[in-house]
Chains A and B, each alone.
Chain A
Amino acid sequence: MIDLIISTIENEEQRNELAEFYSTHRNWLCNIAYSKLKDRFDAEDAVQTVFAEIADDPEIFFKIAPRNRRAYVGIIVRNVSIEMYKKRNKVQLEELDEETEDTSFSLEDEVFDKITREELLSFMKQLPIEQQTVLLLHYYFDLTIYETAQRLHISVSTVNNRLKSARGAIRKFIDEGNTNYV
């Protein structure tokens, strides 16, 4: 009986954790969505969509370290808002057909012999939002390719393509020593 009561209490705590998380960050999340959609009700719909998905499949959300959950949900809300905006305005996203398997990526310390850290950061901020989002989910939040695809409602090959394009652009920027981008 103690086990049952404890499991019920634990469940209650976790439920409150999600509701409390929403209550703490609602305004911030709605503003992220509003910045893309420019419509209050659409922004609320975007936030609802994200929380509905978390409610249905909370595993990925609770896998993220608590200190990173706010940023994670912010990124997902931004992505959902962009998708809603595209749907609303019938903008089609062009996808590449190529696929890639190897997603490992690292930067050598020597990178900063060619360019400064600020220059690289500034370049990364100029990458398309779709590429930034997959980079963040896969490399920063440590989601697998499959989890990233699942969370963004896109195919695994699309995730791979976006990662490949982003990594290629960063590599090119580094190799050319920033000369073509200044």
Chain B
Amino acid sequence: MCENIFKELLGEMMESELAEFDNAPDRKPSLRHRLAMKRIFARYERNKLKENERTTAVELPRSRLNFKQRIILALVIVLLMSFLVGWVVVFTSKDFHGIIYADNTQLFAINTENAPTIIEYQYTLDHVPEGFELIKTVSSPTFVYTYYLNNSTEQTIVLEQSVKLHYDPHYDNERSKFDEFNINGKTGLFIDFSTEKLNSSTFIWDNGDYIIEISLDLDKDSAIDLLEINNFL
């Protein structure tokens, strides 16, 4: 009863403080935020699937299914789920595999063994083209996002570093396709988002420890020069 009084007061305090945001203006989320949230929900889904797999692994012996039966069962479920969510095509390259959906592709790293599970070393661009400056860095234990901007031209450079186990982004490549690049022996994926008015490209590669992704509002040759100057390639 006595604890309840305190709890009630805390509840009232919280409700009155949070109530001021009830009628706040509607804010349209940015594209970057929507994509990030998509990744987060995909990560959540994968974590739950892992948890389910762990539970299933314990329960399977009780169901007395042999290995062959389990494979058939898994195939049936994949086909059933594919039927439910729409046609799904699998994407593979040297270091990445992924799932191609109707309007985006989700990538995963292939070689995750012995890779760090947290960011132990944070990469930055030592050299950026003239006019660009570091605007902000957002980091979590598994992800680093570094944003550079040229204020006069509004061109951006975004460097992202992810631990391999948590790398599962969706790429909006409805109008572009993944190409493999091989520059100075370094291989990875390249997407050209350029339009008539704007150069924009993204390079993604596995550097052994992390997945590095760099998105630049530069033409491909300038982008490669920048990667070489920074010893990324």
Contacts and interface: CB of A to CB of B under 8 A. Distances in A.
Interface stretch (A41-49, A94-102, A143-151, A154-162): A41-49
A39 to B, nearest CB: 10
B140 A18 contact: no
Of A55, A109, A124, most buried by chain B (CB within 10 Å of CB) is: A55
Nearest to B63: A3
Interface string B144-173: 000000000000000000000000000000
Contact of B24 (A14, A18, A27, A111): A27
Contacts of A28: 21-22, 24
B11 A140 contact: yes
B43 A8 contact: no
A15 B45 contact: yes
A44 B28 CA distance: 10
A82 interface: no
Interface in B111-162: 138, 140
Given A31-B27, A125-B13, A139-B10, A109 B5 contact: yes
A163 interface: no
B6 A55 contact: no
A32 B21 contact: yes
A121 interface: yes
A75 B24 contact: no
B3 interface: yes
B183 interface: no
Contacts of A107: 2-3, 5-6, 9
Contact of A4 (B17, B41, B77): B77
B37 to A, nearest CB: 6
A48 B9 contact: no
Interface in A55-76: 55-56, 58, 71, 74-75
Given A30-B29, A44-B30, A52 B52 contact: no
B133 to A, nearest CB: 16
B152 to A, nearest CB: 20
A48 B201 CA distance: 24
A28 B41 CA distance: 19
Contacts of A106: 2-3, 5-6
Contact of A124 (B10, B18, B30, B80): B10
A5 B37 contact: no
Contacts of A86: none
B103 interface: no
Contacts of B6: 105-107, 139
Contacts of A26: 29
A1 interface: yes
Contact of A18 (B9, B41, B52, B81): B41
A151 B136 CA distance: 24
Contacts of B16: 125
A118 B17 CA distance: 15
B45 A11 contact: yes
Of B7, B15, B59, most buried by chain A (CB within 10 Å of CB) is: B7
B196 interface: no
Of B3, B12, B45, B59, most buried by chain A (CB within 10 Å of CB) is: B45
Given A4-B77, A140-B11, 5 more contacts: A15-B48, A30-B27, A31-B25, A47-B33, A106-B6
18 contacts: A3-B63, A4-B73, A5-B80, A8-B52, A11-B45, A27-B24, A31-B21, A32-B21, A41-B30, A47-B33, A48-B36, A55-B43, A55-B47, A58-B48, A75-B14, A107-B3, A125-B16, A139-B10
